[in-house]
Structure 1
């Protein structure tokens, strides 16, 4: 066949013969150009085995961040994924130690496919004891921006946690959650954060915060690059005892430095539905995020709208997914302490921070001491308290002198930072029971002393006191000499402090 005949046959196949189209030999030989930029969506098959003591573990959840599968009777799994998946990881089952390196939890493998396949095996170590009873802590916002801040974390907070763990019976199981803003935009300080975890001595799981993100990313997808390099996926789950723990990334970067909103992506919500499909309804689920799912701050400040970067905009869908469970939500970000209840099955613990008011002194800007949450688990039951750094766990209130709050010149004030509606705050005058104190929204007097005004605190002059709803007031009589405040928490633990009114003054405790 001649070249002319070949060309005519080709044109017929295109339906162009007889319309006067002429194609040069060079054009006939041209190849389509590949796109300059684009995502690789090719299929990647993930496979491997989850085992302990050389024996496969059945029913372990394995995920690529999109879909979840369970290991078979021999501990093997296979998962059809795609080239956009970054990690393959497991939901560590109950009864097993948390794999870690220098106390940083390692439950994942970064996917590096070869000819469309990637194999990842996971080996777990059985715990020496039953984990039905265990404890965990939540470190919200270490937020270190300098070597001086890092030194505070390593010489005060980490040893405080180590001492707390040591105060429990030997071999008590503990783990921690770094609840975001592990550093303050200074990625070189992640090493100091990890050193603090090693000092504290318990395994930690990490949550990404808005100050842990790559601020030069063009979209949210790239904002977690450094975090993933150091700590793995930004959303995942694990188990201990009867509790199912979940970590989510609710900080959505909008492409402009330091601009973000509280938002859960469709990918995470779809993954969470699959993850919880393997959890029995009625179980206790602990969800860890950085930005609070909700707070009442805008109501206290009499603002008409919720802060876009202060709560999760699409939280109703999260609440719907959690409805079959007894859920606790752990959050930070705000640098104040608050309890938020959603229906009968969800309580959110908005934590006071490890760094207080950004390492400017001993308290957050609502008067809550710098510290962290401690949670004691027995079966599906969870009890908790707030642990002020440098003080015993019995330190749960601070008493202020009469007139410390200008709007209440004849009243004594008390800050009960971990208060919720199930608590009781009573007062006694010279041994006589006077009843319950009255709760009102106001500024904490010590925060006013340390933070109010453009000149202070010297380290970060923009820090200002914030209204809180865990201040309580009582009006003592003119003849009163001694006053006692007795606080009973929801677990019937009693905390009591007695003061001589004439000796009472602002205290940095």
Structure 2
């Protein structure tokens, strides 16, 4: 029986004739970067390894043992100061997919048979300088349903990030494709162009729908990306990535529900046993974990259990996507959170926007503004030790574009109007304060006003009132914008053009401004 080194999951290997119930191997320092454990390469102690439930640490020689069944993935939990190998498509290779008989017969291909368990499943790591201050790139829902939409994703988002500098890695927050795992590879080839290691998590449009048990719903995902539940460290941050789609819905066997299985919560509990309490813990999943008073999309008891597991970690952040809107949610003790400091949940905006809808822009790509008025884009999370802040970048626009102002173009002098000045601060929340002024006057506070964004309604009205066909397709209905503020339009200023200036300060203390002009006119007398 020969020893095997991890190069990529899902490949076929030749093994000996003895099946094993225990996975064994070494975590070692791959000094020559060839992916093969050699005599001169020493083992690395105290590195976490998991079978997706149990988590163990390697011993002083880098050796580990884990129980394994015939349908489990063994993965190393990358320690800080080391990097894992990536394949030619920039996908991190931190796992071994153990499926002796392969995936069950499904419409979309799963994992090919891997044969018997190898004598040794070894994980190569290479020392890497990791600054505790680093940046990660986050995509919400690329979700192409066709090759043309993969092209929209490529041209509209990926192209402006090719060769991006000073970014440690990327993460896509699920719905990598739209109900067609055959599009995984075109998606992967597009993402590869960015040129950085790229992690992925599973969304409700990435599953195998022709299964009767949730544990088989990720077979095609596993064949392309590895485990749907995994963890890794970078700097002073511990990342946990989870598949939070329960399919079929355990309530009625139809559709899906947000939640976590018992074995997934066991994995989180076992993983956190080896995470220092002063680390920042970031948990990423596709479906949001709910909000105060409205948790219909996610199983309540799973959120409570997750909060219990995080109770002793003072620095936390959770991430989701799924809604095709952008929102900041803060969980308090009344919501089941166990600490005085609120837990921040960031529901990330999407690279597909409103499902590639809207008119085509100069690139021939749909504008695709989200239904809360957030332009399509992506986020950068800036980690500073065990703290963080977030930047949202609108695709195709300057990084300074953080606010969209809606206001009437013309109002009548001294005639009271029901029209308002609206400011959509894309990264905002009700905790923030927005102020405005006109013509450089005194700053005045705007009122938080969660309702439909007027700028998005303008888009819908253009489609509904046009007398000629527009390029692209009409977006879906407007939804409430949870980062919208309003102020009255001053009508008692002198006739002429006036400049509105809005200033927003985000939760991290960063300030953004945006301006817009309007005119005050005297009513003509005939």
CA deviation map 1:58-89 (0-9, x unaligned): 111011112111001111111232334x2111
Aligned residues: 443
- TM-aligned CA deviation for residue 331 of structure 1: 0.3
Partner of 2:135: 135
CA drift of 1:202 comes to 1.3
Distance 1:283 1:236, change over 3 A: same
**Could you tell me how far apart the structure 2 residues matched to 1:115 and 1:439 are?**
61
Alignment of 1:234-245 (within 5 A): 234-245=228-239
Q: CA RMSD in A?
A: 2.5
Deviation of 1:174 after TM superposition, in Å, equals 1.9
**C-alpha separation between the residues in 1 aligned to 2:402 and 2:181?**
34
SS in 1 for 2:179: coil
The CA deviation at 1:118 is 4.5
1:354 correspondence with 2:381 = no
Does 2:475 align with 1:486?
no
Partner in structure 1 of residue 11 of structure 2: none
The alignment partner of 2:450 has SS state of: strand
**C-alpha separation in 2, matches of 1:229 and 1:116:** 17
Instruction: Give the one of 233, 249, 266 matched to 1:270.
Output: 266
Matched, 1:281 2:281: no
Structure 1, unaligned runs of 5 or more: 1-41, 167-171, 300-304, 504-509
Partners in 1 of 2:300 and 2:507 — Cα distance?
Answer: 27
Report the equivalent of 1:438.
447
Give matches, 1:46-61, under 5 Å: 46-52=23-29, 53=31, 54-61=41-48
- Tell me the equivalent position of 2:288: 292
8 Å CA contact 2:354–2:475 kept in 1: the answer is no
Cα distance in 1 for residues equivalent to 2:207 and 2:510: 40
Q: Does 1:103 align with 2:90?
A: yes
1:496 paired to 2:513: yes
The change in CA–CA distance for 1:401 and 1:257 in structure 2 (over 3 A counts) is farther
Give how far 1:467 is off.
0.9
In structure 2, the CA distance between the partners of 1:147 and 1:452, relative to structure 1 (3 Å rule), is farther
Find the counterpart in structure 2 of residue 333 from structure 1.
Answer: 322
What is the Cα deviation at residue 409 of structure 1? Answer: 2.5
| Unpaired stretches in structure 2, ≥5 consecutive residues | 1-18, 32-40, 101-114, 333-340, 358-366, 411-416, 521-526
Change (3 A) 1:227 1:377: same
Q: 1:274 is paired with a residue of what secondary structure?
A: helix
Q: Residues 250 and 118 (structure 1 numbering): CA distance in 2 closer, same or farther, change over 3 Å?
A: farther
Which of 184, 187, 194 matches 2:181?
187
**Which residue number corresponds to residue 196 of structure 2?**
202
Partners of 2:116 and 2:134 in 1: CA distance = 44
2:240 aligned counterpart, secondary structure: strand
Q: 8 Å contact 2:405–2:515 — kept in the other structure?
A: no
Any conservation in 2 of the 1:154–1:195 contact (CA below 8 Å)? no
Distance (Å, rounded) in 2 between the aligned partners of 1:311 and 1:353 = 23
Deviations 1:269-292, CA, capped at 9 Å, x for gaps: 011100000011232101000000
